[in-house]
Chain A
Amino acid sequence: MVDAQKDVPIKSAQVEALVVMKIVKHCSSSFPTTATGSIVGMDTNGVLEITNAFAFPTVEVTNTDSHQSNDASSLAAAAPRAKANIAYQSEMIRHLKEVNVDANNVGWYTSATMGNFINLSFIENQYHYQRENNKTVALVHDVSRSSQGALSLRAFKLSADFMTAYKEAKFTTESLQKSKLTFKDIIVEVPLIVHNSHLLTSFLHQIPALPDNPEIPLPTSLDDIRRDPARAPAHPSFDSLDLSIDPFLEKTCDLLLDSIESHYTDLNNHQYYQRQLTREQFKITQWQTKRKAENAARLAAKQQALPEDEWQRLFKLPQEPSRLEGMLNARQVEQYSKQVDGFTANITAKMFAVRGNLLPE
């Protein structure tokens, strides 16, 4: 029974509205700095139900370093795998168990700005969780995008291929070619469903809305009462019709440019390595031919040949820089591009709508 359950991979994640609200509150309250927390729940039949969440305690950075804010952010980002927090997490889960909440750790959540969450820290955190339990996800809440109206909450997990590769910690060109791992295969997005309890749904339906005009004319007849326009509560907002493109695209462009910059840095590093490598190899071949000639001469003089594999001791080939950084960077660029793509598709549609039909004749 247990084995059978384990074999079913997660197909989707179902997040309780409570969790969403908690995450949104936590993330937006600590906005410029990254916020992280733990999520609990359980998985049934390939659906990961996330039923509760709690934040990791933030460490007050009291020392006045030059890069203070940076520190706080990086500390928070590293929180899920910090020793103190692991203890805190298990303690917290024990307490939750006492109040009869699902007491299985199913992952963690983090905040992000404009989708800039793909970095080494994210990978390490998720690896930390997924190593213990394969059925864990990372929820990413994009604060900046959510502030524009639509909620942006996504669930990710590392792919199995990547997990094995990361375990070996080998990201050389050779190993990547062998395992056919590309930047697209690093993380897998899990579809997310926000689930409300029935009680909440019915409450939402009964939310009392403010009337349009403060003074409602008294019904004069029974028909009036019957015709009373019962407006749906929580009607859709008009935010989705917003046409402003500047801040979003600008910011994404900036981030994209940054990513490309870092791509170039990475490229330079690699080129440097390659140059170094060819130089060393040239030296080695030179040495080898010299040694061969020497040996031939010695053979002619009936002397013992010198060993030909000494170069392994004499020369040290440079270490190939890890390609992981580059891969993550590529994934990040893809992330940005998709963001722009999705956004512009929407905006373009709206633009056409404005031009075509919605303009008054």
Chain B
Amino acid sequence: MSRFFRGGDDSSTESSSDEEELYSGSEDEAEKKEAKAEDSSSEEDDDEAEEDESSDSDTGAQKKGLSRFLLDQDSSESEEEEIEGTTKVKSAKDKRHDELEATITVIQNGQKISDWGSIANELDKLNRQVVKLQDARGKAPKPYIKCVAELEDFMNETIAKQKVTPKKMNATNARGLNAVKQRIKKGNKDYQDQIDAFRKNSDDFMESDEEVAPAPKVPKVRFHEPTADEEGDDSGFAVVGKGGRVLEFTPESIFKHLRSIMESRGKKNTDRLEQIKIMEKLNKVADTPYQKIRVLMTLVSARFDLGSGGAASMPVEHWKAAEGELAALLRLLDTEKDHVVIENAEEWDDDEKAPTIAEGEKYLKIPGSIVSYIERLDDELTRSLQSIDPHTSEYIERLTDEGSLYNIIFQGLLYYEMLRKDASLEVPQESLNRIIQRRLDHVYFKPAQVVKILEENCWKEVPSNVNSVITPRTEQNDASHLINVLCNYLFENSDGIIRARAMLCQIYFLALHDEYYRARDMLLTSHLQENIANFDINSQILYNRTLVQVGLCAFRKGLVYDAQNTLQEICGSGRQKELLAQGVMMQRYSQVTPEQERLEKQRQLPFHMHINLELLECVYLTCSMLLEIPLLAQTGSSPDVKKRVISKTYRRMLEYHERQIFTGPPENTRDHVMQASKALAAGEWKKATEFIHNIKIWELMPNTDNIKSLLAKQIQEEGLRTYLFTYAPFYDTLSIATLSTMFELDTRKVSAVVSKMISHEELAAALDQVTETVIFRKGVELSRLQSLSLTLADKASALIETNERTLEQRTQGSTNAFSRKDGRGGQRGGGQRGGRGGARTGGNTQRQAGGTQFTGGALGAAVRG
């Protein structure tokens, strides 16, 4: 619905504008507020409106109001008929009257037996019914007035009695009485004059006026749908408020409008678009900076309200408008230095006159939070990006808005820096931290070149005389320096989550720019892995992202072992998507409530921040292959070491791959890695290298060739190790030269690898440097039987331990429970003694068990005893 009326068509405009004038001119302050509240309150709420009307009618505006409605009578009557149904108008009304009568009888019965509980209930019902039966002037039906008046009398009587008699009412009755008291106080206010009339002369009241036909109900005002041209062409149209009053936009009325809009915030059925339009107009007429600031702030927050319903993001045009208005606001604040927007300012209540700068104060403080607006703007962009399909041009278009958002953040930062300069304003450090965090959030995952462009653009926006304390203009060119400065600022001035996030952002950035050792050292010294579980989920996601980035960085450096170790935690779980917030996994067995699902969706990162999952998997699998294949060759079939598994995911894939009867040429990354693994295990390192090099996704890495050659070298080495593990039992001696030709490795490299293996006791051999041969020692390895019996021994001791633990649990750590000394005679006494002494001896056993490898422990003591 709209408040725009066609001015020429309807004569009501005149009268209602009269009314407006009358309100603003003659009536007192309170009255005016009421009227305004009425303007803004929801149009659909007929009942409420009617009540308001009726209260209006008491104060003498009745005639005006009535005449206003009468003008519309012909249209409203037909509407009423539509509502009431065409034929049974009368009977429906009668029915309601009957219901009312019935309720009143119940109340009267309740009065007789003082059952206040039921009276309270019935009164509620009555009030509901009577609203429907009111006539246009707000006159309630006579029986109702009578009943209420009587009830009030009775209630007053009861309360008076209650004070005198010491006997207490029971709880339900007392509660009922209280409820009735409140209801009556509230309800009777509306009908006070009728009740007074009734009190004066009850009989007369009941008789009189009975036959007066009920005036038409409060007619609904017919609204016209707003059309686009209406807005542009104001000449023929007047803007009309609710109830047909024209809204005039004058600089004086701005605060009034703003207040009404602010008050309707959050209420149901508020037409936000409508309000936004009003405010846009207000913005045009506002002339003082104070007005402008107030209008802009209200406007921006109203725009944000558009997006606050459910998961939908706010519309793009509104986002852009909000962004523009926020920019305008910041510009304005920049030029008008004596106006400041801060959180801890006091609300200015006087709508009549704008506040002025008080004596002795430097600033005019306006309550508000720029940082919240900026954060909200940022969040809305993220939400909008989440909902757009990332593979469309729409996404890219939307993404360009990030630049302007970054500018806003930057300007906000400048503004807060300016505020911070004056200590008297007491701007909390936290606001500055939050805005810096936002800035950091926009740069940490971007390559240095992109950050540089972003920075250049935002410096272009601000006037050249402005400079930032934290990030000076002169140092804008170095992205890593920028990150460093921002993070250091947060380290020094913040704590808790923001600090941890800053740390993670910096590590991420470092890892992205191939500074592995710095990133790793920072990650390790931060000790975040110990307490990351206590942080909120978004920080945990950031932690996961950082971890993955560090792992990828290690891989790029050729540090296979480190890369695998780092990635294990994320990739080994098989739930990369969820852990990195890059997609929702379908869970087969657990039920996810829609609520959880919605939350999960909200946490998703926008596409441009994603880490390529396929590349991640490829890196992880390749690293796992390089570590696992030699290990598999080393352990062979001996049962005790079989359990040592580096990557379960990889093992499972390998097993699955081996089970396949027919393996075709590799298609995806996984196939490539699996076939390479097979080739590597068979000693065909050249083939393995070929398979790995054929993986397409390496192209996504910076300097692909470098990585490929690194991988080739790794494969050669691991191939050599695998070969040695597999075929060592069949050799007595092996010339290093042979090995070096076999694997096309430098002889020095071969001897290095072999020496390393020997020193790690992976290979029972010696290196003869004179003849350049590896001499294998025989009979050092355990035979199968030996290893089996070792395993058996391990198992047996584990079993004993389990048994001991069970026994201790059962006897509450008392070893005496099984002691046989007591015999049968003193069983009762002995049992008790054992129970009490248990605590002491139990502790003793514990220490014993810890000290040596194999002790009898609890069982042993029992046997010995």
Partners in one complex: yes
* Residues of B contacting A245 in the complex (Cβ-Cβ under 8 angstroms): 785
Is B785 in contact with A260, judged by CB distance below 8 angstroms?
no
* Minimum distance in angstroms from B517 CB to a CB of chain A: 44
Asked whether B795 is an interface residue with its Cβ less than 8 Å from the other chain, the reply is yes
A253 to B784, CA, bound (A): 10
Is B789 in contact with A257, judged by CB distance below 8 angstroms?
no
* Residues of B contacting A260 in the complex (Cβ-Cβ under 8 angstroms): 792, 795, 799
CB-defined interface of B425-465 with A at 8 Å, one 1/0 digit per residue?
A: 00000000000000000000000000000000000000000
CB-defined interface of A130-141 with B at 8 Å, one 1/0 digit per residue?
A: 000000000000
A332 to B643, CA, bound (A): 25
* Minimum distance in angstroms from B333 CB to a CB of chain A: 58
Chain A stretch 19-66: residues in CB contact (< 8 A) with chain B: none
CB-defined interface of A247-281 with B at 8 Å, one 1/0 digit per residue?
A: 00110011011001001000100000000000000
* Minimum distance in angstroms from B427 CB to a CB of chain A: 51
* Minimum distance in angstroms from B324 CB to a CB of chain A: 58
Is A253 in contact with B799, judged by CB distance below 8 angstroms?
no
Asked whether B639 is an interface residue with its Cβ less than 8 Å from the other chain, the reply is yes
* Residues of B contacting A267 in the complex (Cβ-Cβ under 8 angstroms): 802
A254 nearest CB neighbor, chain B only: B788
Given known pairs A257-B639, A260-B799, A267-B802, the reply for A250 and B792 (CB within 8 Å) is no
Asked whether B791 is an interface residue with its Cβ less than 8 Å from the other chain, the reply is yes
Is A249 in contact with B792, judged by CB distance below 8 angstroms?
no
Is A253 in contact with B789, judged by CB distance below 8 angstroms?
yes
- Max chain B Cβ within 10 angstroms of own Cβ: one of A245, A254, A263: A254
* Residues of B contacting A257 in the complex (Cβ-Cβ under 8 angstroms): 639, 788, 791-792, 795
Chain A stretch 193-249: residues in CB contact (< 8 A) with chain B: 245-246, 249
* Minimum distance in angstroms from A327 CB to a CB of chain B: 16
A248 nearest CB neighbor, chain B only: B785
Is A246 in contact with B802, judged by CB distance below 8 angstroms?
no
Is B791 in contact with A250, judged by CB distance below 8 angstroms?
no
* Residues of A contacting B799 in the complex (Cβ-Cβ under 8 angstroms): 260, 263
A257 to B799, CA, bound (A): 12
A70 to B788, CA, bound (A): 26
Is A253 in contact with B788, judged by CB distance below 8 angstroms?
yes
Is B785 in contact with A249, judged by CB distance below 8 angstroms?
yes
Given known pairs A257-B639, A257-B795, A260-B795, the reply for A250 and B802 (CB within 8 Å) is no
Is B795 in contact with A250, judged by CB distance below 8 angstroms?
no
* Residues of A contacting B789 in the complex (Cβ-Cβ under 8 angstroms): 249, 253
Is A253 in contact with B792, judged by CB distance below 8 angstroms?
yes
CB-defined interface of B779-811 with A at 8 Å, one 1/0 digit per residue?
A: 000011100110110010001001000000000
Instruction: Give the total of A residues in contact with B, Cβ under 8 Å.
Output: 11
* Residues of A contacting B791 in the complex (Cβ-Cβ under 8 angstroms): 253, 257
A254 to B795, CA, bound (A): 12
A320 to B783, CA, bound (A): 42
Instruction: Give the total of B residues in contact with A, Cβ under 8 Å.
Output: 11
A102 to B495, CA, bound (A): 94
* Residues of B contacting A254 in the complex (Cβ-Cβ under 8 angstroms): 788
Is A246 in contact with B785, judged by CB distance below 8 angstroms?
yes
* Residues of B contacting A246 in the complex (Cβ-Cβ under 8 angstroms): 783, 785
Given known pairs A256-B792, A257-B792, A260-B799, the reply for A250 and B785 (CB within 8 Å) is yes
B802 nearest CB neighbor, chain A only: A267
* Residues of A contacting B788 in the complex (Cβ-Cβ under 8 angstroms): 250, 253-254, 257
A246 to B639, CA, bound (A): 16
* Residues of A contacting B802 in the complex (Cβ-Cβ under 8 angstroms): 267
* Residues of A contacting B792 in the complex (Cβ-Cβ under 8 angstroms): 253, 256-257, 260
* Minimum distance in angstroms from A319 CB to a CB of chain B: 21
* Residues of A contacting B795 in the complex (Cβ-Cβ under 8 angstroms): 257, 260
Is B784 in contact with A250, judged by CB distance below 8 angstroms?
yes
* Minimum distance in angstroms from B349 CB to a CB of chain A: 49
B791 nearest CB neighbor, chain A only: A257
Chain A stretch 264-323: residues in CB contact (< 8 A) with chain B: 267
* Minimum distance in angstroms from B636 CB to a CB of chain A: 15
A260 nearest CB neighbor, chain B only: B795
A246 to B802, CA, bound (A): 30
A250 to B784, CA, bound (A): 7
Chain B stretch 38-94: residues in CB contact (< 8 A) with chain A: none
B787 nearest CB neighbor, chain A only: A253
A253 to B789, CA, bound (A): 7
* Minimum distance in angstroms from A265 CB to a CB of chain B: 14
* Minimum distance in angstroms from A225 CB to a CB of chain B: 54
- Max chain B Cβ within 10 angstroms of own Cβ: one of A245, A249, A253, A267: A253
A256 to B791, CA, bound (A): 11
* Residues of A contacting B784 in the complex (Cβ-Cβ under 8 angstroms): 250
* Minimum distance in angstroms from A50 CB to a CB of chain B: 37
A253 nearest CB neighbor, chain B only: B788
* Minimum distance in angstroms from B640 CB to a CB of chain A: 10
* Minimum distance in angstroms from A339 CB to a CB of chain B: 14
Chain B stretch 847-862: residues in CB contact (< 8 A) with chain A: none
B795 nearest CB neighbor, chain A only: A260
A253 to B640, CA, bound (A): 13
A263 to B785, CA, bound (A): 22
A161 to B795, CA, bound (A): 32
* Residues of B contacting A263 in the complex (Cβ-Cβ under 8 angstroms): 799
* Minimum distance in angstroms from B787 CB to a CB of chain A: 9
* Minimum distance in angstroms from B641 CB to a CB of chain A: 14
A146 to B784, CA, bound (A): 23
* Minimum distance in angstroms from B806 CB to a CB of chain A: 10
* Minimum distance in angstroms from B807 CB to a CB of chain A: 15
* Residues of B contacting A249 in the complex (Cβ-Cβ under 8 angstroms): 785, 789
A256 to B639, CA, bound (A): 13
A256 to B792, CA, bound (A): 8
B784 nearest CB neighbor, chain A only: A250
CB-defined interface of A323-345 with B at 8 Å, one 1/0 digit per residue?
A: 00000000000000000000000
Chain B stretch 513-530: residues in CB contact (< 8 A) with chain A: none
* Minimum distance in angstroms from B802 CB to a CB of chain A: 7
A245 to B789, CA, bound (A): 13
A252 nearest CB neighbor, chain B only: B788
B639 nearest CB neighbor, chain A only: A257
Chain B stretch 746-786: residues in CB contact (< 8 A) with chain A: 783-785
* Residues of A contacting B783 in the complex (Cβ-Cβ under 8 angstroms): 246
CB-defined interface of B634-651 with A at 8 Å, one 1/0 digit per residue?
A: 000001000000000000
A254 to B788, CA, bound (A): 7
A260 to B795, CA, bound (A): 8
Chain B stretch 593-651: residues in CB contact (< 8 A) with chain A: 639
B783 nearest CB neighbor, chain A only: A246
A247 nearest CB neighbor, chain B only: B785
Chain B stretch 337-370: residues in CB contact (< 8 A) with chain A: none
A244 to B639, CA, bound (A): 22
* Minimum distance in angstroms from B797 CB to a CB of chain A: 12
* Residues of B contacting A250 in the complex (Cβ-Cβ under 8 angstroms): 784-785, 788
CB-defined interface of B134-167 with A at 8 Å, one 1/0 digit per residue?
A: 0000000000000000000000000000000000
A246 to B782, CA, bound (A): 13
A203 to B802, CA, bound (A): 59
A254 to B784, CA, bound (A): 10
A131 to B102, CA, bound (A): 80
A249 nearest CB neighbor, chain B only: B785
A246 to B789, CA, bound (A): 12
Question: Assuming A253-B788, A256-B792, what are 10 further A-B pairs, CB within 8 angstroms?
Answer: A246-B785, A249-B785, A249-B789, A253-B785, A253-B789, A253-B791, A253-B792, A257-B795, A260-B795, A267-B802
Contact surface of B with A, Cβ cutoff 8 Å: 639, 783-785, 788-789, 791-792, 795, 799, 802
Contact surface of A with B, Cβ cutoff 8 Å: 245-246, 249-250, 253-254, 256-257, 260, 263, 267
* 25 A/B residue pairs, CB under 8 Å, sorted by A: A245-B785, A246-B783, A246-B785, A249-B785, A249-B789, A250-B784, A250-B785, A250-B788, A253-B785, A253-B788, A253-B789, A253-B791, A253-B792, A254-B788, A256-B792, A257-B639, A257-B788, A257-B791, A257-B792, A257-B795, A260-B792, A260-B795, A260-B799, A263-B799, A267-B802
6 closest A-B pairs by beta carbon, nearest first, are A253-B788, A250-B785, A260-B795, A249-B785, A246-B785, A253-B792
